Structure formats: C-alpha cells, structure tokens
Structure 1
Amino acid sequence: MILIRRLLGDVLRRKRQDEGRTLRQLAAAARISPGYLSEIERGQKEPSSELLAAICDALQARLSDVLREVSIELAAAELAAQLESERIGVAAPVPTARVGAAAGSGAVKSMPLAKPVPRGAVRPGTRPAARPVSRRVPAAAGVGATMTATPNLLAYPVVLPGGLNAGSLPVAGSGQVPQLALR
C-alpha cells in the first residue's frame, strides 16, 4: 500500500535538505516542535492543511508545488506497483461481504463476492517476451532514421502535469532534454 503521508514526508525532507537547513531551523520557522516535524518527514504523522501550509511557508515553497511533486511520485509508485504485480501475476484482491449480523443471527461470516480471475498469459515466475519499441528520431539524428529500443517506462501512457504525455518525451540520446519546472 502506498501511503501519501510517506511521499509527502519525503518531498518535505528533500526540499529542506536542498535548502541546506536543519530540522531544528525549519521547525522553528514553521513554529512546530522538531520531533513532530521529524515524524511528518518520516511519514509517521499526517499534517493538517494549516500545518502543511506553515511548513511550506517556512520552506518558501508553494503548497501547490509540493502537492504536485507528491502527485508525480504517487503516480510513479502506483505505476511501478502495477507493473510489478503484472510481472509476477498477482490478481487484485477479491472484495468480500459480511453477512449474518444484520439478519440478527449473531454470527458474522465473510464470503467472496466473486471468484478470482487468473491472469491467463502471465504465470508466477515467468516473464512475457520483451518487444522492441520503434520510434522516429528527430531530423538532427538523421533524416527518416528509426531507433529501436528495449521497452521502458516511456512505453506506458503516463500523463504529467501541464498536459505532457511521457510517451511524447524525447528519446535518450536525441540531444533534447525534457525539463519540468516544479517551482
């Protein structure tokens, strides 16, 4: 399970360390105890919106930028978890219903709402064969040149902030560097 409070804590800690500030300095600027700030950064406590705004003000960062970074990391973590579960062939958990107590029988039983569906082509311990991905290379690399690469995360549709699509980002070695401004 991916916990947003852990991702939020990671982003806040990274921003604090990028500024070269200590935990005590940031806690004093945000007017919270260093211990509580440490718990937030480690993902053990979930800050209120007011407290998060105070921390962002102390970091001189916009709250929307911090939440955007958390959103990007959450999307990446969800994609990685999905790819890993597909790789090992784990089916999604089957929802269950609790019956019996409402009818006054005193006994509560859990029963599956549906039978789990096997993953078919993907079995645990096996990997599907990798398919080469063919992309057009910009004119700077050669007119009409085609580049073949092994599958990577850019082969999966990922929507980034600002309407960018990860599949439309330049291919490595093409001389173009994608830049995402988070501040």
Structure 2
Amino acid sequence: MTQEFKVMQSNVMAGSLGDIFWDLAPWIVYSAGLDIGCNIYVANPTDTTKEYALMARLSRDTTLLSEEALPVYGYTWFQVEPGDFAVLKGALRFAESNASLTVSLIERETGETIDSVITSLVAPSTDTSALPPSWPGTPGTGGTDWSSMLSGMMPMLMFFMLGVVMVSALKPAKEGSYAR
C-alpha cells in the first residue's frame, strides 16, 4: 500500500488587504515623555496599489487615553505598491506610561482597520527587576555587577584556552606538513 503526499499550497497573507509589523517587543519599559524609536513595516499583499493610514491609540484597561493619526512623510494617507512593503522609520512619544499602545493599519477603500500591532508600555520601577540587567555605570540603575560575573568566569576561560592549546599540541602532525 503506497501513500501519496501532496504539497499544501499556502499563502499566509492571502485574501488580506494589508499587514503591519514592527520591531517593538510585546512590552517595553517606557518613561512618559521620551521617544520610542521603531520601524513599522506595512505590506501590501494584493495585486493593486493600496492607500493606508496609521492610527495610534494609547489605552489603560478599557479607558482610551489618546488617539492620533501618525503622519507618514507629512501626510495621513500613503501608498504601497502591489506585492511590496514600506519601511517607516520614526519615533513615538506619549505623556502616559503603564498603558497599551496599539498602532492600527487602516485601508482607504474600506475605511476599516485591517491589522494592528500592540505593545505594553511599562513604567520603570523596582517592580521591573525581571527585566534584563542594565549596562554597568548606567545612572540610576542597580543592574548586575558585570565585573564580578566576568571575574568569576575568568578561571574557567583560562582552563578552556589551556585545553585547546594542549589538544592542538598533542595532535600528530599530518604527513607532508612541517612541524617542529
């Protein structure tokens, strides 16, 4: 009995009018009033040129804190060619923290939100100790003492390097190679 397998043809973005992605983590530590630098990617998977707009919403629980259109090259609407994507580099700034930031992609023909990305803006505090350690010497941070961590690893590193040298010294020389 033979079994026949067929390759499934799939397009993740099939049927969609557009997609939005960004390089922000699902949650970030954010101090109100500072810039959040990010890259936003808008993809047009259709076979026609599409016009899109971006809308930023900041909310806490069910309360809407702010809502504003994000201009792209000074305009509310921008075009993306068929099968192409736009890389939008910029910075966002908000007067609030401990909130959810949602950036929605709106398609012009339908006027509907077709996709969105979200991240949580967490205010810095002592409760954020689960975050990765900061660089040593950064003002106002307890962080991890990297120098003590490195000094504890130094003997292991030295033994490893000694082992590598010993193994290479004890290997027999290949025929035709020059060895002293």
TM-score range, shorter chain: under 0.3
Higher helix share: 1
Q: TM-score, normalised to structure 1's length? A: 0.24
Indicate the structure with greater strand content. Answer: 2
Q: Give the alignment's TM-score, normalised by structure 2.
A: 0.24
